[in-house]
């Protein structure tokens, strides 16, 4: 039975500046069934968030079109729980006797529907955890004992039960991103909704945190007979949990159906820049099939490969140049917060010129803290940190560090200060007192390197998400630092954008820039880095080859890191064929399979 029905629905945002916007959602037709886990996928800017707003009535009941423009901005109908949620109807004005368009339908979907957005910071409306969870119930006017019972229960469900006794004392700033997101989920669960719409709720979380939250949501769905609508980039999550999937791009439906049907169409994923899983890519490019489609799980692909052993391929390993200059040297580094808790404990490592290093670990492991110390942004530490042999304890050295270490922050919106793309890149150079002619040539070169030469006069604020990210890289690149640290370069971006950024970083690395990438995306790590530094609870627990790390299951467990599917496939394959090489990414797998399959194509049905 359909709980939400979308019929020929179109929407365009009202324009108040004269020029009309195009439709963000175009003639959408689909249904979401009761108690279903419904996945929505699409590239960045496809209209996924707008669709979430429409499904919960925020569009057009909160973002209202101007009077007289209702039928232009809103077309079609959305029904929820068998009633009209949104529809434009002609009504007769009793005062004038004229007919006019009016948006009709349920103006409020709470508490039957909940909407969880990407950034948990913006959804935390109260100043303590207890009232954050209780807030919706207070608005409903539930009795206090019922509120208390539900708060406790909701915290238990999302894994925050340990915080119940102190919930009234917990300030939002004391919660990690993952805990805040769990709290946001709990605040809706306590309202006992029938439908929960989640818009990329775990994009800032590490793989383990992400999967544990989605698993918790799925458990809740089954237990409380909830309908879940989840917008998510991660194909593993959608493939594992979604019953049906809707893929959209440019406001239009590009695929709709069961998970198997949608994810089998790999050409569609390529064309629209969508994330597909390692397994599906290996299957597709390696020409493997399972039941007439690309395999989705490790068991399926192993079954496709059968009992035959793969050919060995030359494996790329870290090439250490013993003569290379030492760029970063961290020795006995300790750092603690003002309240006395340790952020880093006795951290030691060094990075040589020309390396591309992945800095990985769970949320709160200390990755950002250590990289900000290296970039000279945090100073209250103990131990030694040297950049190009210069000790960062020296105030003059630390002040001049932006000349040597470039830091690209996670949120591009926080690092764009100027009103022109050209000025944005030139800003750092002016601060370094570079001559005007040099500023011009370096700015043009940096913008060319990131493909933004044609946008020199545009306002950075109005660039697309991917373009903003590239502009932030250009603004650092122009300063010609010896090392660039990028913090979560691909968060919230679609596959094509992520690949663009990673290829740009690889290009810079080949040209001689040392790169340190902090990321939760283990697929990117396995595809682009040859060395990883693995952090856990403020310490380094592994520093070495990426392949050796991903090969070691004990170490992966210790670091609480879920490796990419290609690596997990290797673990399963090596168990089956001991002594086989550990292949750590889809590219290696495809090469190994294709090499063998040239003579014998494999199609298992």
Partner 1 sequence: MAKEDVEARTKKQYVRTFIFSMKVGTPVEKLNVITKVLMIVVLSIVALYMFDIPVSKGGPDIIGLLLLLAMVFILLGLAGTTKYLFSSYLALAIPVLFGQFFWWLFFNRDLPGPKSPFFLWPSYIPIGVSTIIFIATFAILYYRMRSPMWPLIAAVLLWYFSITPALLDKAPYTWATIPIGAAYAFTLPSAAVTVAFAKALGYGVLIYTSFLFLLTTRDTEIAGALTQLKASFRVSFFTALMFRNLNIILLDYENIKIAQKARAAMVFRRNIFSRIMDLARISIPLVASMVKRSTEMGIALYARGFENAKQVTYFEETKGFSYMDALIIVILFAFLIYTVILGHTITALFLR
Tell which positions 104-123 bind partner 1, by CB under 8 A: 107-111, 113-115, 117, 119, 121-123
3-state secondary structure 94-135: CCCCCEEEEEECCCCCCCCEEEECCCHHHHCCCCCHHHHHHH
- Choose which of 56, 202, 277, 289 interacts with partner 1 (CB under 8 A): 56
User: SS3 for 528?
Assistant: helix
Whole-number Å distance between alpha carbons of 432 and 429: 5
Q: Which is nearer to partner 1, 20 or 399 (CB)?
A: 399
Compute the least distance from the CB of residue 517 to partner 1, in Å. 16
Question: Is 289 a binder of partner 1 (CB under 8 A)?
Answer: no
- Choose which of 18, 141, 578, 579 interacts with partner 1 (CB under 8 A): 141
Our CA dihedral for 586, 592, 595, 601, rounded to 10 degrees, sits at: -70
Q: Which positions from 354 through 393 interact with partner 1, judged by CB under 8 A? A: 372, 375-377
Span interacting with partner 1, options 34-42, 287-295, 403-411, 548-556, rule CB under 8 A: 403-411
Q: Which is nearer to partner 1, 127 or 320 (CB)?
A: 127
Compute the least distance from the CB of residue 194 to partner 1, in Å. 14
Across the chain, how many H-helices and E-strands are there? 23, 21
Whole-number Å distance between alpha carbons of 374 and 376: 5
Our CA dihedral for 453, 455, 461, 464, rounded to 10 degrees, sits at: -80
Q: Which is nearer to partner 1, 245 or 477 (CB)?
A: 477
- Choose which of 399, 441, 464, 558 interacts with partner 1 (CB under 8 A): 399
User: SS3 for 224?
Assistant: helix
Whole-number Å distance between alpha carbons of 29 and 77: 10
Compute the least distance from the CB of residue 139 to partner 1, in Å. 4
Got the DSSP string for 394-450? Answer: SHHHHHTGGGTEEEE-S-GGGS--SSSHHHHHHHHHHHTT--HHHHHHHHHHHHHHT
- Choose which of 8, 20, 93, 138 interacts with partner 1 (CB under 8 A): 138
Question: Is 124 a binder of partner 1 (CB under 8 A)?
Answer: yes
- Choose which of 31, 153, 174, 243 interacts with partner 1 (CB under 8 A): 174
Question: Is 510 a binder of partner 1 (CB under 8 A)?
Answer: no
Give, as one character, the DSSP assignment of residue 485.
E
- Choose which of 46, 54, 137, 508 interacts with partner 1 (CB under 8 A): 137
Cα dihedral sign, 81-86-89-95:
positive
Could you tell me where the DSSP H helices lie in 450-539? Answer: 465-477, 495-510, 522-528
55 burial level (CB within 10 Å; 0-12, 13-18, 19+) = buried
Span interacting with partner 1, options 38-46, 124-132, 351-359, 597-605, rule CB under 8 A: 124-132
Q: Which positions from 7 through 46 interact with partner 1, judged by CB under 8 A? A: none
Cβ(185)–Cβ(217) below 8 Å: yes
Compute the least distance from the CB of residue 259 to partner 1, in Å. 27
Question: Is 164 a binder of partner 1 (CB under 8 A)?
Answer: yes
User: SS3 for 17?
Assistant: coil
305-344 footprint of partner 1 as x/- string (CB under 8 A): ---------------------------------xx-----
Compute the least distance from the CB of residue 353 to partner 1, in Å. 21
Q: Which positions from 424 through 453 interact with partner 1, judged by CB under 8 A? A: 427-428, 431-433
Compute the least distance from the CB of residue 109 to partner 1, in Å. 8
């Amino acid at each position: 039975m359909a709980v939400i029905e979308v019929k020929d629905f179109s929407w365009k945002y009202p324009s108040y500046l004269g020029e009309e916007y195009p439709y963000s959602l175009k003639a959408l037709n689909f249904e979401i069934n009761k108690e279903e886990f419904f996945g929505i996928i699409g590239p960045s800017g496809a209209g996924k968030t707008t669709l979430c707003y429409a499904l919960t009535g925020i569009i057009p009941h909160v973002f209202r079109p101007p009077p007289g423009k209702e039928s232009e901005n809103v077309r079609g109908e959305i029904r929820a729980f068998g009633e009209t949620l949104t529809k434009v109807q002609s009504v007769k004005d009793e005062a004038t006797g004229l007919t006019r368009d009016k948006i009709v339908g349920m103006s409020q979907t709470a508490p039957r529907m909940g909407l969880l957005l990407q950034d948990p910071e913006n959804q935390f409306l109260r100043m303590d955890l207890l009232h954050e969870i209780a807030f919706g119930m207070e608005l409903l006017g539930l009795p206090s004992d019922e509120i208390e019972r539900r708060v406790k229960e909701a915290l238990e469900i999302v894994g925050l039960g340990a915080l119940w006794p102190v919930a009234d004392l917990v300030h939002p700033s004391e919660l990690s991103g993952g805990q805040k997101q769990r709290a946001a989920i709990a605040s809706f669960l306590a309202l006992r909704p029938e439908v929960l719409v989640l818009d990329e709720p775990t994009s800032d979380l590490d793989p383990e945190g992400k999967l544990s939250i989605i698993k918790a949501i799925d458990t809740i769905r089954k237990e409380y007979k909830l309908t879940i609508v989840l917008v998510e980039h991660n194909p593993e999550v959608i493939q594992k949990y979604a019953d049906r999937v809707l893929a959209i791009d440019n406001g239009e439906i590009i695929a709709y159906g069961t998970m198997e049907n949608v994810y089998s169409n790999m050409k569609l994923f390529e064309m629209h820049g969508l994330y597909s899983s390692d397994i599906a890519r290996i299957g597709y490019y390696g020409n493997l099939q399972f039941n007439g489609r690309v395999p989705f799980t490790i068991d399926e692909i192993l079954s496709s490969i059968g009992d035959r052993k793969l050919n060995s391929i030359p494996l790329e390993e870290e090439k250490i140049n013993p003569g290379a200059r030492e760029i970063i040297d961290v020795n006995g580094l300790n750092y603690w917060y003002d309240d006395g808790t340790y952020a880093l404990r006795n951290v030691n490592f060094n990075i040589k010129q020309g390396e591309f290093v992945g800095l990985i670990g769970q949320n709160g492991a200390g990755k950002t803290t250590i990289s900000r110390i290296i970039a000279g942004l945090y100073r209250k530490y103990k131990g030694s940190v040297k950049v190009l042999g210069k000790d960062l304890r020296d105030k003059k050295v630390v002040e001049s560090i932006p000349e040597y270490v470039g830091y690209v922050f996670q949120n591009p919106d926080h690092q764009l200060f100027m009103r022109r793309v050209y000025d944005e890149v030139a800003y750092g150079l002016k601060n370094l007192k570079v001559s005007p002619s040099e500023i011009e040539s370096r700015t043009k070169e940096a913008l060319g390197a990131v493909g933004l030469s044609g946008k020199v006069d545009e306002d950075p604020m109005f660039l697309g998400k991917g373009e903003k990210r590239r502009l932030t890289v250009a603004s650092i690149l122009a300063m010609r630092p010896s090392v660039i640290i990028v913090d979560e370069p691909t968060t919230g971006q679609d596959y094509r954008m992520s690949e663009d950024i990673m290829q740009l970083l690889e290009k810079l690395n080949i040209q001689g820039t040392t790169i340190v990438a902090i990321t939760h995306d283990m697929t990117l790590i396995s595809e682009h880095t040859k060395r990883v530094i693995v952090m856990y609870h403020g310490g380094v627990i592994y520093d070495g080859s990426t392949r050796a790390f991903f090969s070691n299951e004990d170490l992966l467990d210790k670091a609480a890191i879920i490796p990419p599917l290609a690596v997990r496939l290797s673990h399963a394959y090596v168990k089956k064929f001991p002594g086989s090489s550990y292949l750590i990414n889809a590219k290696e797998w495809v090469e190994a399979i294709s090499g063998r399959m040239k003579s014998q194509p494999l199609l298992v049905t």
